[in-house]
Amino acid sequence: MGGRRNLLTALPYAFRMIDLRSDTVTKPTPEMRKAMAQAEVGDDVYGEDPTVTRLEELAAAKLEREAALFVPTGSMGNQIAVHVWTHPGSEVIIEARGHIFNFEMGAMAALSGALPRPITTNDGLLRPEQVEAAINPKVSYRTPTRLLCLENTHNLWSGLPMPKGLKDELVAVAHKHGLKVHLDGARIFNAAAALETTAAELARGCDSVMFCLSKGLAAPVGSMLVGDADFIAEARRVRKLFGGGMRQVGVLAAAGIVALTTMVDRLAEDHCRARRLAEGLAELPGVILDPQCIKTNIVVFRLTRPDLLGDREVAPNVRFVAAMKAQGVLCGAFGQDEVRMVTHYHICDSDIDHALRAARTVLAAA
């Protein structure tokens, strides 16, 4: 199984749920809890928390950037970047299923007055010519386009990693037209593991990068915003504006340091389990899923059968999720017919077997 697990993992399935809803459900490791208890702290709004400073230096070094900022959530990190790079009434280009557009409470409009320009793709990967076509001409009577947001891995596209070459082309076209590029790299280390490269390579050229400590890396809280020194200075001001100035937060940063130093190398394990899960699911009746598309830790599939599990008032994916829960497996429903399952630190090989047994039972009963 590898790694240290939550003691709960030892319980028989009759007494515990297998939680595949998200990698956000991961709990801090014993090493993190120890580091948290022993963390040296100070008031971080005064820049006096040595543990936060250490985490920020580590994050900047990992991404090969000048500076970094510890933020409470990935959403806040993304929205700080949007706020810094846009002004009210300006446009932000983003892939139509992007997290910043779909899952951040309309924050770009609410907090920054910015307007999303979503672009639909067939595979989750924006193309340079699509981006170029979506940039408004620089004339006094058109809305200025200010920012391109990328997402790597792409959550709703089954955790698809964006290759470095495509990212370089997208950055080049954005910069050619004077746009900034923000990378939502919530799972950038998953992308790096899948593409056998470094997070720094996948982020190079982007003007700002957010990555999460609290997902596959299992820290309890926190994300990092990374960029050049001027950007981070401005981001620090906006973090306070958004109510994200935290005080003796070294207790959380300590867990983040353990996350970054001990949890990155094991992510490939989660990817193998996700692939095995996908291969098993793809064989079941009513499931549309190409296991070859599962490159990281997120499995998204469609259910084709509107008749699934009776009650037509409720969408089939919602019924599937409820039936899986009754079998001891938690997963998530998205849109009309999609289901998402995410592997992470607390999911072991036998959990995958159990989840597949559960799905087989549920779909056989349908």
Can you give the binding site for ligand TLP, defined by CB under 6 A?
22, 24, 73-75, 78, 99, 103, 151, 155, 184, 186, 212, 214, 223
- Find the shortest distance in angstroms from Cβ 74 to ligand TLP: 3
Instruction: Tell me whether strands 18-19 and 223-227 are parallel, antiparallel or unpaired.
Output: unpaired
Residue 145 region by backbone torsions, left for phi larger than 0, else alpha for psi between -120 and 50, else beta: beta
Give the residue with the Cβ less far from ligand TLP, 20 or 281.
20
Give the residue with the Cβ less far from ligand TLP, 76 or 308.
76
The one-letter amino acid at 204: R
DSSP characters over 307-338: TTTS-TTS-HHHHHHHHHHHTTEE-EEETTTE
- Find the shortest distance in angstroms from Cβ 319 to ligand TLP: 21
Residue number closest to ligand TLP, CB atom: 74
Q: Residue 189: enclosing H or E segment and its boundaries?
A: helix 188-195
- Find the shortest distance in angstroms from Cβ 334 to ligand TLP: 9
- Find the shortest distance in angstroms from Cβ 25 to ligand TLP: 8
- Find the shortest distance in angstroms from Cβ 285 to ligand TLP: 27
What order of strands is seen across the sheet that includes strand 180-184? Answer: 67-71, 223-227, 208-212, 180-184, 145-151, 91-95, 115-119
Q: Are 64 and 228 in contact (CB under 8 A)?
A: no
Q: Are 97 and 157 in contact (CB under 8 A)?
A: yes
Give the residue with the Cβ less far from ligand TLP, 62 or 97.
97
Give the residue with the Cβ less far from ligand TLP, 90 or 158.
158
Give the residue with the Cβ less far from ligand TLP, 135 or 194.
194
From the list 16, 291, 356, the residue with the least C-alpha distance to 364 is 356
Q: Residue 303: enclosing H or E segment and its boundaries?
A: strand 298-303
Give the residue with the Cβ less far from ligand TLP, 155 or 158.
155
- Find the shortest distance in angstroms from Cβ 102 to ligand TLP: 8
Residue 91 to residue 273: CA distance in whole angstroms: 39
- Find the shortest distance in angstroms from Cβ 69 to ligand TLP: 14
- Find the shortest distance in angstroms from Cβ 178 to ligand TLP: 25
Give the residue with the Cβ less far from ligand TLP, 74 or 124.
74
Q: Are 134 and 142 in contact (CB under 8 A)?
A: no
| Cα separations in angstroms, 182 against 79, 146, 230, 341 | 10, 11, 15, 27
Q: Are 24 and 215 in contact (CB under 8 A)?
A: yes
Q: Are 256 and 219 in contact (CB under 8 A)?
A: yes
From the list 75, 87, 110, the residue with the least C-alpha distance to 244 is 75
Give the residue with the Cβ less far from ligand TLP, 186 or 309.
186
